Structure 1
Amino acid sequence: MKTENDKLDDLRECIALSDNIVFFGGAGVSTESGIPDFRSQDGLYSMKYKYPPERILSHSFFMSMRDEFYRFYRDKMIYTQAKPNDAHIALAKLEQIGKLKAVITQNIDGLHQDAGSKNVIELHGSIRRNYCMKCGKSYELDKIINSEGVPKCECNGDIKPDVVLYEEGLDSEVLNKAIDFINAAQILIIGGTSLAVYPAAGLVNYFKGSKLVLINKTPTPMDSGADLVFHGSIGQVLKSAIQGI
């Protein structure tokens, strides 16, 4: 049975020999920057609110109770002090040297871009993009932070974050772009996700390349089908894997 060092050596070799790597990441990528996930012991689902978080973050709740939505959203979904961690930085470096073709993320925090990644496919949107539901005007995150209650456009329309809420479908153009990159990848690295949220988790099925790498603190349903599996810090694994490259 291979040791962690053996597996790291294998991952380094895979990265060194490939110039067509795609990364697919979830909430666990951002937890190391201090942003809580949903399903862990300390995640949002385990916290107590007047309404369950998954209901608050639903389309129907947003449409009917926007004041309550924004109270939760500002308190628990926006982390302006969060900084990129070792995972974000390692991935940006791999892109800069021409090895990583795309970052596909379920996160909405924009930390991949802060680290320097350029080709970031945001499956669930971004808190940094917001738009008026009436006239379509775009607003940055400051508009949400510096307003009270439901943020209003200058046309008096309500502003909605450009994030995919429960009950809303993923943008088909974004989804198809992610599928194309995964389908063409030689190496797919999956990190910080339990692979429990569909349709995003189903993207793995489009991978036809040579090496599937999983990095997550807990086991996933795909572990048995992966070539390399790491149960630990994604930041530490990726930082170690790119040393010397």
Structure 2
Amino acid sequence: MDAKLRELVESSGNIVFFGGAGVSTESGIPDFRSVDGLYHQKYDYPPETILSHTFFERHTQAFFDFYRDRMLYLDAAPNAAHRMLAKLEAQGKCRAVVTQNIDGLHQRAGSKNVFELHGSVLRNHCMRCGRAYGVKAVTESTGVPRCSCGGVIKPDVILYEEGLDSDVLEGAVRAIAACDMLIIGGTSLAVYPAAGLIDYYRGDRLVVINRTPTPADRRADHLFHGSIGEILGE
């Protein structure tokens, strides 16, 4: 961990981490907006169209063809940033992780209090009867995955045009508002309403870690440009 960051962490007692795709790219999961991200690859439809509620409803099989091919990276492993956040939680310092990622890597690393703003690919449910399914219901099926009742099995991922889960949102807001140190890492802060949650922080230890500039840089008390795994990790 960077020496200045370590000093801040050691003197803080209620840290919240707010992260995005840049945390997962270091585990080999491509993001959406970088030069090599999904938004710069060619498909019959733009990825943001495919990942919309309307497209899911109208072209369900095409959605799942894309989803299985480009959204599931189940072999990815937690990286140094994930592991450090879990370690800080175990020490009682990191009280919450608020993430825009849907890969479940924070939990695999050991973090327990995780607010997944955009849901998780690991959870799925039947749209007809509500039965819960794991990710194998999608990966081990072809075409449109179906429940035993005949309903469509939908990933518990927030698609474009869908609202965030109110309980998750409220929990994230409470955690950010109460913390004495907010670390923003691996996010361009371009996706709303998620990015707007950082406005609930009123402290004087706003740390931003990102490879490229973000809208929060001018507000940051401490700014680090580079790899989040190297800066935050052990």
What's the TM-score once normalised by structure 1's chain length? 0.94
- Mapped to 1, the partners of 2:204 and 2:224 lie a distance apart of 18
Are 2:33 and 1:34 equivalent residues in the alignment?
no
> How much has 1:231 moved relative to structure 2?
1.0
Out of 168, 179, 188, the position equivalent to 2:182 is 188
Are 2:143 and 1:149 equivalent residues in the alignment?
yes
Are 2:119 and 1:131 equivalent residues in the alignment?
no
Which whole-Å deviations, capped at 9, do the CAs of 1:181-213 have from their partners, x for residues lacking one? Answer: 000000000000001111011011100122000
Are 2:71 and 1:77 equivalent residues in the alignment?
yes
- Mapped to 2, the partners of 1:173 and 1:113 lie a distance apart of 18
Partner of 1:170: 164
Partner of 1:60: 54
> How much has 1:20 moved relative to structure 2?
0.2
Over the aligned positions, Cα root-mean-square deviation in angstroms equals 0.9
Out of 101, 106, 115, the position equivalent to 1:112 is 106
SS at match of 2:115: strand
> How much has 1:13 moved relative to structure 2?
1.1
SS at match of 1:174: helix
Out of 209, 228, 231, the position equivalent to 2:222 is 228
State the identity %: 64
Which whole-Å deviations, capped at 9, do the CAs of 1:71-94 have from their partners, x for residues lacking one? Answer: 000000000110000110010000
- Mapped to 2, the partners of 1:23 and 1:151 lie a distance apart of 35
- Tell me the matched-pair count: 234
The one-letter amino acid paired with 2:89 is E
- Mapped to 1, the partners of 2:30 and 2:156 lie a distance apart of 20
**Structure 1 residue ranges, 4+ long, deviating more than 3 angstroms after superposition:** none
User: Any gaps of 5 or more consecutive residues in structure 2?
Assistant: none
Partner of 1:209: 203
- Mapped to 1, the partners of 2:4 and 2:79 lie a distance apart of 23
What's the TM-score once normalised by structure 2's chain length? 0.98
- Mapped to 2, the partners of 1:133 and 1:60 lie a distance apart of 15
Out of 49, 55, 65, the position equivalent to 2:43 is 49
> How much has 1:239 moved relative to structure 2?
1.5
